[in-house]
Amino acid sequence: MEHSDVNVIQTVRGVTMLKALFNQGYSKKFMDRIEFRRKEYYEKRRIQTIRENAMKMAHNWSHEYPTGTPLEYIRDDIIECWERNSKVGIYANLDKKQNIPYKIEGKHEIDYKK
């Protein structure tokens, strides 16, 4: 008799699990928070993977840097090189025309938009 009660409880728990899987009974705010945490987790994991791979390369390329250079510096230099080559981060718009005004002594600013 006791064994059949356990099966009923498992079935009830299974139904509860199905409700949880199909987002029944949860507020929009709660579901948005779960989505935000999921995206945050995967972004942090992506960055951590990049750092780990760069650290592996830093071990292999440490002979190219002066003796005593910290591996973290070499790692960051490698990541910066990867960003520059794939044109992401601060290197995203380097190929576009730059309109940077500058001053010549005794003259007004020159604007290249003309």
Residue-by-residue DSSP string for 47-68:
HHHHHHHHHHHHHHHGGGS-TT
Q: What pTM, to 2 d.p., does this model score?
A: 0.54
Domain count, the chain: 1
Does the residue 62 lie in any domain?
A: yes
Does the residue 7 lie in any domain?
A: yes
Q: What is the pLDDT of residue 1?
A: 44
Length of the chain: 114
Burial 18-49 (b: 16+ CB within 10 A, else e): eeeeeeeeeeeeeeeeeeeeeeeeeeeeeeee
Does the residue 6 lie in any domain?
A: yes
Task: Determine contact, residues 101/110, Cβ cutoff 8 Å.
Answer: yes
Does the residue 100 lie in any domain?
A: no
Residue written as token pair 């591996």: 71
Q: What is the pLDDT of residue 7?
A: 43
Does the residue 98 lie in any domain?
A: no
Indicate the burial class of 91 (C-beta count within 10 angstroms; 0-12, 13-18, 19 or more).
middle
Q: Which segment, 28-32, 94-98, 106-110, is predicted with the most confidence on average?
A: 28-32
For the record, the structure tokens of 46 come out as 């992506």
For the chain, give the mean pLDDT: 76
Question: Which residue range(s) make up the domain with 67?
Answer: 2-91
Instruction: Kindly tell me if the per-residue pLDDT of 3 is higher than 60.
Output: no
Which of residues 50 and 91 earns the better pLDDT score? 50
Min mean pLDDT across 16-20, 33-37, 60-64, 78-82 is at 16-20
Instruction: Kindly tell me if the per-residue pLDDT of 52 is higher than 80.
Output: yes
